[in-house]
Structure 1
């Protein structure tokens, strides 16, 4: 179980305490709840206290980043707080794709002409796409929050570098790195040689062949050569944007052969490569020392101590000091899900891109907004009882939805404002 963050009367971060100690302080009136998620208390009778060095450690990932706080006690190093931070980069990419489709569809909807502006914009050095920059911002935001609640003295970040060419072609070396996969080939000629000049789905030869995406582009498939194949016109039209597993569900042998010949997508590896130093450079702006460590050392530290594979455990084992870290028995991390802070567009669209519904006039209704942590007290009906959770949606008429309960605003009590993240206690 994570320890509880403690602030002095002047909001100076002190050492995290055990939950039992926090309950005792609250019961005797010596502390008050400062924040519920992550749980933080503020003392009413102390302005300072003895502290030990605390190191912030991060194991960046494409979808989930492990965070850990390791304190240096007299009896050794111990994990006092940990979390798995799940990013929302795929949602950002999907939203940008939808926006691009709506804008390009203006011509078909006979809307007024809007001149292109992309030629008037410039990108700063080190620019990252929004879907990747969100990962950097999430780690930076939580580092800043933990600095306000814990006496952190240093930060350690794992930087993993994936060799994507070696992942696709084991044993590659020398000049082959410069030549690449398509050296001396056009893409179409390469595919004709790779797939033996026949349809990958039905085996037809001596017919017009079209380039097809094994994993459909409309479902997130990439343009990599490993995701392309050849198909005859009937098979290409019959497959459409269906997954290859669905299209060849009755021909498992051919499906296995196609999967064996294709290569796995490398999107996650590319995301980690692009953000591995951007995260560290952002943490350096806070003024504390930041060190970078390899993934090989992290794995060595974790396996040598016999810990299971998990993002937050990898974070705790980052660096040279990670070779001797105690993880308390039964310790469960906090699960943090990046949800964002709402949407920018004023009104929604239907599937054809036309406006739908009425424009949004206000973000808060009776002091509540979507994502707020609230308590619902209902005295009668199916929802009778007390319920605590995040508000899923609000309505201008004053009725809100919490979990599956749709109740009026007067029965809600605000516990914590929405901060762009959802929290869940991990289960064993």
Structure 2
């Protein structure tokens, strides 16, 4: 019993040692993350202040100007989905962050449906059907509301949650590249919630860092080469479900599938070096807040 407790303590210590703490300069510029022991020493000596980000990630902000601000390439991978998305942050020497996003697609879709029903009910009660049609209280259209160039609210909510998480990560880490898994299908597939809004999302991400796209089969090939295991239970809130794909997308900036030629053979092989380590794992969802609960309000007498 004591041996098992001791082994568990040692494992936990090794896990904490391999984690990385984000570091910000006095002006708020993200620097390379550091070890937890060094961060504790900085806080103890008054060199840095410990803070918490909106993602629930602990970071330190230096109170003195650092001697250098050189950074290594850090990539963020985003695996978008309809109900869940995966996000991973990777540097050449360590895995920095993993996240499983629970997207608000079904909740927003149901609320929009209920809002539409309540609105139709209010308009129906407002109209006096005893009058002629030309004299009824119909509000005339004020603009062309059939432009067909806007995102549905449910899909926009999905992409905005992903954008919010990536934006917070860019504030914590010196992100150099963002890799986004691009969904492509033959024919007209505009009904797919994953495909709709991809171009808009890429435009949003391009304002944060350099953006690259990658197809799903490329992600699967690299995940196999990295010997990462993916769970088939898509609803499980574990790193192996969707965050592993985000991590694989981030690693695609550090490991490339390139051709090689020798005197006797030729072909393709994986080139590059990346070290996968334990990291922080977060399950992120939107808080269930309704600012205008029109979809919950049903008129009643009295």
TM-score, scaled relative to structure 2: 0.70
Question: Residue 116 and residue 270 in structure 1: after superposition, are their counterparts in 2 closer, same or farther (change >3 A)?
Answer: farther
Cα deviation 1:295-335 (Å, max 9, x = unaligned): 1010011112211113222112123635654321x445211
- Structure scoring higher RCO (CA < 8 A, sep ≥ 6) equals 2
Residue aligning to 2:286: 338
Query: Counterpart in 2 of 1:18?
Result: 35
Query: Contact 1:5 / 1:149 at 8 angstroms: preserved in 2?
Result: yes
Q: Where in structure 1 are there 5+ consecutive unaligned residues? A: 164-176, 179-265, 358-428
Q: Distance in 2 between matches of 1:356 and 1:59?
A: 49
Structure whose alpha-carbon radius of gyration is higher: 1
Q: Is the Cα–Cα contact under 8 Å of residues 79 and 325 in structure 1 kept in the other structure?
A: no
With over 3 angstroms needed to count, the CA separation of the structure-2 counterparts of 1:348 and 1:301, relative to structure 1, is closer
Change (3 A) 1:4 1:116: farther
Equivalent in the alignment of 1:99: 115
Identify which of 240, 251, 254 aligns with 1:321. Answer: 254
Verify the 8 A CA contact 1:68 1:81 in the aligned structure 2. Answer: yes
Runs of 5+ unmatched residues, structure 2:
1-15, 129-135, 231-240, 257-272
Of the three residues 23, 29, 49, the one matched with 1:6 is 23
Q: How does 1:6-405 map to 2 (within 5 A)?
A: 6-36=23-53, 37-47=56-66, 48-73=68-93, 78-106=94-122, 115=138, 120-122=143-145, 126-162=149-185, 270-286=192-208, 288-309=209-230, 310-318=241-249, 319=252, 321-322=254-255, 325-328=274-277, 330-339=278-287, 342-345=289-292, 349-350=296-297, 353-354=298-299
Kept after mapping to 2: 8 A contact 1:298/1:322: no
What is the total number of aligned residue pairs between the two structures? 247
CA RMSD between the two structures: 3.3
| Cα distance in 2 between the residues matched to 1:355 and 1:6 | 56
Whether the 8 Å CA contact 1:348–1:355 is kept in 2: the answer is no
- Per the alignment, in what secondary structure is the counterpart of residue 65 of structure 1? strand
For residues 128-171 of structure 1, give each alpha carbon's deviation from its aligned partner in whole angstroms, at most 9, with x where no partner exists.
Answer: 101001122122222222222211112111112356xxxxxxxx
For 2:284 and 2:205, how far apart are their aligned partners in 1? 20
- Determine if contact 1:132/1:275 at 8 Å carries over to the other structure: yes
TM-score of the pair, normalised by structure 1: 0.51
Residue 118 of structure 2 contacts residue 294 of structure 2 at CA under 8 Å; is this kept in 1?
no
